[in-house]
Structures are given as C-alpha cells and as structure tokens.
C-alpha cells in the first residue's frame, strides 16, 4: 500500500486536493494507495514523553504503523515560510527509527508560489536521504498552485499533468524493482 501523505493539517488545503487526485492516479494503474492525513493526529495528546513506541498516543501510533508497513510514501509537500510545514517535522520526529525510513521508497510533489515548492521538497529530501530512504529522483513542482489546479486537484496544464502521470507510473516501477531485488524496506532480506 502506498501512503499518499498530505504534508499539512491546514483546513481547505490544496495539498489534500492534489493528494486525493494522486490516489486516483495510482488506482488507475492498479496500485493500492490511500491518503494519510496529518489532520487525523490529535496534537493535543502529544507531549514530551512520546518519543518512543510504548508512549505514543493512539492517533500517532496508528499513522506510524501505516508508514512502517507502506510499500512507498508519496509526499505532497506545500511551501510554508520557505520550507515544509512544521507539523511534518514533528510527525517525522515521532517515527520509528530506523524502520520507518530505512530503504523505504519515497517520492515528492511540491507546491507553492513562485518557486513551486522546490525548497520544501529539497529540505525534506535531505531528511529522508540522511535516514537512508530510497529517494525517487523524479520530482514535480507546482508553482502558483492556487491558479493551476481545478477543484478535483488535477492540474489544468496538459504538459504538467502528463509529468505527474509519468512520475506516478515510474514510482510504481521503482518500488517494484526494489521489491524484486529484495532491497525494499519490507523485504525479509534487507541489508538492515
């Protein structure tokens, strides 16, 4: 199962619309994918004692279990103040180490204003690279996002739309190649 992560908890988020559309694209390629929403975390439950599996709140541990079992992570990342939203880093800091990250395939779509979410994606790539995830090199950036998507989260421009379709298909192939060669995070025979 690919987890399509909405990298914000903002109400009315464009990232969520886009992520919903990405889930449909995976389904069209006969690949299981679903939304993973940071808005389902009960942030009021979190406290400084929860950095460790035993102490996690239920809403947090439910999502981390999904991360730990995911065949791939597709991160839909908006730009907030020149980087990715703080809630994403807080979420990541509660993940299982090394299981959540190590050899887990991860793909990025950035969105924002003039720079199209380049900075949040590159900042997040550093985190995943540091933690030995398998970072898929094809990235997509949506600039002036508010004017280029429709209500269903689909980009109106056919060239950009095609770029996303190709990225989704190639990410599926990337995951399968890692699974076939037993290099995937979920393989019994990993090099962990």
| Residues within the interface to ligand FMN (CB under 6 A) | 8, 10, 13-15, 78-82, 111-115, 145-146
Please state the closest distance from residue 3 (CB atom) to ligand FMN, in A: 17
Give whichever of 14 and 71 is closer to ligand FMN, judged by the CB atom.
Answer: 14
Please state the closest distance from residue 95 (CB atom) to ligand FMN, in A: 21
Give the CA distances from residue 65 to residues 36, 59, 161, in Å, rounded to whole numbers and listed in that order.
11, 10, 32
Please state the closest distance from residue 120 (CB atom) to ligand FMN, in A: 8
Give whichever of 89 and 169 is closer to ligand FMN, judged by the CB atom.
Answer: 89
Give whichever of 79 and 185 is closer to ligand FMN, judged by the CB atom.
Answer: 79
Please state the closest distance from residue 179 (CB atom) to ligand FMN, in A: 31
* Residue of 3, 25, 170 lying closest to 100 (CA atoms): 3
Give whichever of 8 and 21 is closer to ligand FMN, judged by the CB atom.
Answer: 8
């Amino acid at each position: 199962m690919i987890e399509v992560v909405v990298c914000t908890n903002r109400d009315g988020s464009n990232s969520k619309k886009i992520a919903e559309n990405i889930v449909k694209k995976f389904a069209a390629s006969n690949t299981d994918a679903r939304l993973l929403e940071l808005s389902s975390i009960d942030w009021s439950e979190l406290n400084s004692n929860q950095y460790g599996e035993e102490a996690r709140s239920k809403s947090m541990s439910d999502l981390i279990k999904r991360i730990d079992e995911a065949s791939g992570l597709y991160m839909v990342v908006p730009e907030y103040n020149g980087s990715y939203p703080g809630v994403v880093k807080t979420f990541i800091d509660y993940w299982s180490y090394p299981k959540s990250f190590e050899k887990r395939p991860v793909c990025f779509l950035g969105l924002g204003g003039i720079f199209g979410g380049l900075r949040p994606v590159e900042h997040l790539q550093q985190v995943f690279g540091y933690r030995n995830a398998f970072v898929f090199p094809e990235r997509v950036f949506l600039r002036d996002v508010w004017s280029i998507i429709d209500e269903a989260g689909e980009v109106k421009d056919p060239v950009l739309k095609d770029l996303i379709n190709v990225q989704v298909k190639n990410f599926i192939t990337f995951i399968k190649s890692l699974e076939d060669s037993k290099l995937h995070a979920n393989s019994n025979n990993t090099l962990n």
